[in-house]
Amino acid sequence: MQPASPRRTPDDAALDGPLEPASRPVRIGSGDPASHQARIGSREPASRQVRIGSLDGLRGFAVAAVLLFHAGHLRGGFLGVDLFFVLSGFLITGLLLAELGGRGRPDLAAFWGRRARRLLPALTVMVLSALLLAWACARPDLLGPALRDAPWVAAQSVNWHYIGERIGYWNASGTRLFAHLWSIGVEWQFYLAWPLIVALAGRGPGGQRRVALVAVAGAVVSLLLMIKLGAAVDTTRAYEGTDTRAFSLLLGAAAATAPVRDAVAALPRTAVETLCALLLCGLSGAWLLTGGDEAPGLFQGGMFAHSLACAALIALLAHRPDGLAGRVIGSAVPRRLGELSYGLYLWHWPVYLLLPRPATGSWGWTSATIGLSLLAAVVSKAAVEDSVRLRARWATGRRGWAALTVTAVTAAGLWAAIPRPEPGAGTVDVSRLGQP
């Protein structure tokens, strides 16, 4: 049976998760490239918006940085997660403000439904596959913790689980198959709370200004919390806490509001290009030189400054995606990586842990694991993500509910059926410890 033609809601392509392509400009006027603008959060109907290639490209660079960091080749690549957060805050807020301007209120139920369709199917497939692979590979050191972590992953709160169990992010998470999913939990928790705030603060005249003020105020509070909690010996609480990482999402949210967009629009073209070049150089330097949690000032404002630079760059690229920086960042390779970034992020860490790893960094091993991760991401996008997101026939109506029920029952049954390793079974190879 052939699937029905995909049916997209106006914002299906626009609103994606932490590591997913989610960029939408609006073409204004005629076909002149200079007339292309990014009207994120404008009153323009969402259905008229299309992708901004440069923002997809930014996501591609960010996921590449994370993959290289986890492979031991880029000391500051973990900062790519901050870029993901800022992008998500920017794009989500833009969509919510567009709905406020067009309909007077955002459809929160539809918003959360789209988030669930976009994030959960691929996440479920990865979690079940990782558990089965760990079992098949006889890796009790991975399987036991993964079975304990899986319910927290399902509840989208694994970051707080790791904080509560004092699973040190920087020195002990290399045996946790789902350690990288802390960021998915942060994103999901933001998705639950921020739309309610936008719906309340954004109503009526001056709504976008109020949203901007709330976002900036929240970012400052989040920064102060990180400064306070980041002084601890173990910085996991500051690094994985939703409250301490909220400033990245909120700075992105502020960048999507009318006051910031108007300020960017007032800049001459040469100033936009110059600022983009300077910001790109600064971010590249940070990714190359930052040395993990021991980097001076990282938790005392350094990460905030990085997120602020990301927000500024995103606002500039969204305003002028046809500039030189926009064309370079939005070129084919980084843009394609950005389109695959969610699946890449989901799969790369289990692949890294399950594939035997040499004691020292090896580009051969890195190439093999990234290649396998890319393959898994391509299959995930084609077979799972797009089918659900674009509403193929099997994923809609009664068939969709039946597929959801079968998936949930199968997931719970497999989790319960996999034998639990004996306490203390397996050994930990310290050379495999990483920092997801």
pLDDT by residue (tens digit) across 144-164? 999 999 999 999 999 999 999
Q: Give the pLDDT mean for 168-195.
A: 89
What local confidence, expressed as pLDDT, does residue 36 receive? Answer: 35
DSSP bridge pairs for 49: 26
CB atoms within 10 A of CB 257: 28
Residues 6+ apart with CB under 8 A from 237: 163, 229, 244
Contact between residue 56 and residue 127 where contact means Cβ atoms under 8 Å apart: no
Contact between residue 48 and residue 26 where contact means Cβ atoms under 8 Å apart: yes
- The amino acid present at 251, given as its one-letter code, is L
Q: Taking all residues of the chain, what is their mean pLDDT, rounded to a whole number? A: 84
Q: How confident is the model at residue 411 (pLDDT cuts 50, 70, 90)?
A: confident
Give dist(CA 436, CA 426) in Å, integer.
21
Backbone angles phi, psi at 37, to 5 degrees: -130, 160
Q: How confident is the model at residue 14 (pLDDT cuts 50, 70, 90)?
A: very low
pLDDT at 26 over 50: no
Give dist(CA 390, CA 8) in Å, integer.
6
Give dist(CA 332, CA 398) in Å, integer.
38
The torsion angle over the Cα atoms of residues 328, 333, 336 and 341, rounded to 10 degrees, is -90
Dig out the tokens for 248 from the structure: 């990245």
What local confidence, expressed as pLDDT, does residue 431 receive? Answer: 44
Contact between residue 2 and residue 387 where contact means Cβ atoms under 8 Å apart: no
pLDDT tens, residue by residue, 66-91: 999 999 899 999 999 999 999 999 99
pLDDT tens, residue by residue, 301-347: 999 999 999 999 999 999 999 999 999 999 999 999 999 999 999 99
The torsion angle over the Cα atoms of residues 123, 125, 128 and 131, rounded to 10 degrees, is -80
pLDDT at 395 over 80: no
Contact between residue 64 and residue 84 where contact means Cβ atoms under 8 Å apart: no
| Least confident span in 26-30, 152-156, 185-189 | 26-30
Q: Give the pLDDT mean for 22-43.
A: 36
Contact between residue 201 and residue 214 where contact means Cβ atoms under 8 Å apart: yes
Cβ neighbourhood burial of 367 (10 Å; 0-12, 13-18, 19+): exposed
Q: Give the pLDDT mean for 411-436.
A: 67
Q: How confident is the model at residue 34 (pLDDT cuts 50, 70, 90)?
A: very low
pLDDT tens, residue by residue, 351-376: 999 998 886 668 999 999 999 999 99
- Which of the pair, 349 or 43, is modelled with greater confidence? 349
- The amino acid present at 254, given as its one-letter code, is A
Contact between residue 177 and residue 146 where contact means Cβ atoms under 8 Å apart: yes
- Which of the pair, 151 or 14, is modelled with greater confidence? 151
What local confidence, expressed as pLDDT, does residue 402 receive? Answer: 79
What is the Cα gyration radius of the chain? 21
- The amino acid present at 116, given as its one-letter code, is A
Give dist(CA 150, CA 154) in Å, integer.
6
pLDDT tens, residue by residue, 242-301: 999 999 999 999 999 999 999 999 999 999 999 999 999 999 999 999 988 888 899 999
